Amino acid sequence: MGLAQRGMEERGLVTISLTNMPFVTEKIGVPRAVAVEFPFGMIWGRPGESQMHQDILARMLEAVEAIDAPGTIIELPYTWPEEDFRKRDWFPSEPTPWLASQEGINEMLEFLQHGDPLE
């Protein structure tokens, strides 16, 4: 995501991203970002939470006008409700392939140690 954003900005587009992994976003370095502590698959809020989707979008637009230095990440004050946390319904129902077998995990470990992300 971050690399695609950098490429778009290089071509003259104004870009901002919504991330739940500012740890990663910071490493890659993007022009503008906002961060929320929401799970993958529902990064704009739960299905049907139209007010939350709209609030995040409005904050992103404000951030576009406020951010004046590349690499800025603004944390938004939204957290996943504690009572929802117990549902753990963001885990994929089909197991992620690389985590599903010892062979996949070994292949991933090899990649983590010696892999080339640009291959």
Partner 1 sequence: MSVNSFKFMPRTLAESLKVWPYVDTSGEEIPWTRPVKPVGESKVALVSSGGLYHRDDVPFDLDRERREPLWGDPSFREIPRGISQQDIRAAHLHYENSHALKDYNCMLPLAALEELLADGRVGSISEYHLTFMGYQPRLGTFIRETAPRMAERLLEMDVDLVLLSSG
Q: Nearest approach, Cβ of 63 to partner 1 (angstroms)?
A: 10
Q: Nearest approach, Cβ of 41 to partner 1 (angstroms)?
A: 4
* Cα distances (angstroms) measured from residue 89 to each of 41, 46, 84: 10, 11, 9
Q: Nearest approach, Cβ of 81 to partner 1 (angstroms)?
A: 13
Contact by Cβ (8 Å): 5, 32 = no
Applying the rule CB under 8 A, the residues between 52 and 91 that interact with partner 1 are 53-54, 56-58, 60-61, 64-65, 70-71, 73, 75, 80, 89-91
Applying the rule CB under 8 A, the residues between 99 and 118 that interact with partner 1 are 99-101, 104-105, 107-108, 111-112, 115-118
Q: What SS3 class is residue 35?
A: strand
Q: Nearest approach, Cβ of 99 to partner 1 (angstroms)?
A: 6
Residue 48 or 83 having the CB closest to partner 1? 48
Give the separation between CA 15 and CA 32, rounded to whole angstroms. 7
Give the separation between CA 107 and CA 111, rounded to whole angstroms. 6
